[in-house]
Amino acid sequence: MTTRPATRMLPALLWLLAALPALALAAPAPAPAPGGAPLLVIHGGAGVDPGELTAQEESGARAALAAALRAGHAELAAGKPALDGVAAAIRVLEDAPMFNAGRGAVFTHDGRNELDASVMDGATGRAGAAAGLRRVRNPIDLARAIMERSRHVMMIGEGAELFATEQGIALVEPEYFHTERRWRQLQRALRDASQPHALESTAPAKAYFGTVGAVALDAAGRLAAGTSTGGMTNKRYGRVGDAPIIGAGTWADARCAVSATGWGEFYIRTAAAHEICARVRLSGDAIAKAAEDVVNGVIPQAGGNGGAIVLGADGAVAFPFNTGGMYRGWIGADGEPHVAIWRDEELPAP
């Protein structure tokens, strides 16, 4: 009796082919690599251009980046979760007045500081965010408390600050955030905006943004991401950017973690942080390719600019940006901080 195995197997083969995309989508995340060396990557914003910093400001910024890396790494080296490393690093950057987050945040159109922050835990998919804060000293702590101690993901303004008080999170007087440098930036922005034809130009000048962020991979192979910002100079009261929006300025899953910096409206419209990780998850893109294609492709094509830090569960790192500089750095197995600011500055890969 003649058997025709190929013909008989055809329906099964066809089913398999049709089902492949669905099977790929449902593929479990790569198993974490317990026992690996932790890795922490940070940024202090993409809104810096050569010639803008005095030598003293530049060395101060480098020292603050190194201090943030050391603080985050100390948590990770002690075996704490990625989220602890992210929060510790961001707290140092929020307290450093040269970065646009916490103390040193930029001013709104009406001369106030309104702060936004978010965190996401890649291992559990949980997230927390806060926006429009005027009195929370370290917004990243509040974002984390919202994730861990409330049933919500995002809280804003007075309600968020009331929750901060209930949780014992430090509040300060609004003047705490005031720095002369940012005040002068607002005055310049107001003057520029009053020039004839100002409305025709929609692009904000380079120094109008900043933001800080961190992504970490802990010894158990878990990823986390966080971002904190004062937003953009001369933003209208109540404006919320991408930094506290999960999927826009911050994202972490089992494979990929992102913190973004740049012209927030474009990061929101393109769901940039999520878009990068979705390309890794669904298309199998390498971290570097996904990061490059979104930050230097999708965002400029939409009319925006900025940068991001991206970290993969395999330890792959990318720092794409399209401005003159982005404060950035990483720290890995040897506990030595590596930092860079300018576009043409080499930053060795981990």
Binding interface with ligand ASP (CB under 6 A): 45, 47, 100, 209-211, 229, 231-232, 241-243, 249, 261-262, 264, 306
3-state secondary structure of 68: helix
Least separation in angstroms between CB 40 and ligand ASP:
19
Q: How far is CA 118 from CA 19, 46, 122, 145, 233, in A?
A: 37, 18, 13, 10, 20
Q: Within 10 A of 153 (CB to CB), how many other CB atoms are there?
A: 16
Cα–chain-centroid distance for residue 329? 13
Least separation in angstroms between CB 164 and ligand ASP:
20
In terms of CB distance, is 221 or 306 closer to ligand ASP? 306
Per DSSP bridges, beta strands 223-229 and 115-121 are antiparallel
d(CA 277, CA 137): 30
3-state secondary structure of 120: strand
In terms of CB distance, is 138 or 211 closer to ligand ASP? 211
In terms of CB distance, is 121 or 242 closer to ligand ASP? 242
In terms of CB distance, is 48 or 216 closer to ligand ASP? 48
Examine the residue annotation and report whether 229 is marked as an active-site residue of this protein. no
d(CA 119, CA 223): 11
d(CA 277, CA 270): 13
In terms of CB distance, is 224 or 309 closer to ligand ASP? 309
Enter the tokens of residue 316.
């792959």
In angstroms, what is the C-alpha Rg of the chain? Answer: 21
Least separation in angstroms between CB 318 and ligand ASP:
17
In terms of CB distance, is 161 or 242 closer to ligand ASP? 242
Q: How far is CA 57 from CA 63, 167, 232, 258, in A?
A: 10, 35, 20, 27
Least separation in angstroms between CB 229 and ligand ASP:
5
Least separation in angstroms between CB 67 and ligand ASP:
20
d(CA 34, CA 81): 12
Query: How many residues are given for the chain?
Result: 350
d(CA 257, CA 263): 19
| Of 108, 179, 202, 211, catalytic | 211
**CB closest to ligand ASP, residue no:** 264
Least separation in angstroms between CB 11 and ligand ASP:
52
Q: Which residues are catalytic?
A: 211
